[in-house]
Amino acid sequence: MTEEEKIFVCLIFIPRSKELRDIKHKAHSACLRYNMKDEYDPERSLIIKGIIGGIGKKYYFQGPIQFNYGSHTFIGENFFANFNLTVMDDARIYIGDNVAFGPNVSLMATTHPLIASERIIVDENGDKVMTEYADEIHIGNNVWIACNVTVLGGVHIGNNVVIGAGSIVTKDIPDNYLAFGNPCRPIRLITETDSKKYLYLK
């Protein structure tokens, strides 16, 4: 079994293996090129297409961005990400349609064992290496994730959800909820009483 295959079945893997470093290097190099380009440069969207696992026709990343793998992330239609998006997509990340991220959002679909002797092992070459394991992140349709939010691996965020600023999302959030906090928790359903229609020009 390859190190990448181990990731996808939630087994311990060696992130510094050459196999995984080569995949990540492609994404890291692409992010570097993306971040150096002007925001009106049409090549930016092509760079994203070249590294991402899948994405809809309409999307915008303000930048700077940092994907760990890129190829493990799948994004729907009409996506927007503000400044400083970090995507640790060791495990696969699935993002639905009409999703918006505020500044400084981090998707962290990987972690390390807590026990030191499991986190630091000796590989077949006799070298000490750090281990990881990873779990997927699923984000539904019509979701707004506000600024400075961190979403951890294993989390499912439902449709029509709003995650408040500064939250750390460690557990699933059901459809149609406003959720916030550290740890993030569902606070209440979003209802018509939240309408801001009166702010539209008539």
What residues act catalytically?
112
- Phi first, then psi: what are they for 177, rounded to 5°? -105, 145
155: how many CB neighbours lie within 10 A of its CB?
Answer: 20
Q: At what angle do helices 18-36 and 43-51 cross, to 10 degrees?
A: 170
- 142, 97 in Cβ contact below 8 A? yes
Residue type at position 18: K
Q: Find out whether 35 and 14 touch, Cβ atoms under 8 Å.
A: no
* Single-letter amino acid, residue 89: D
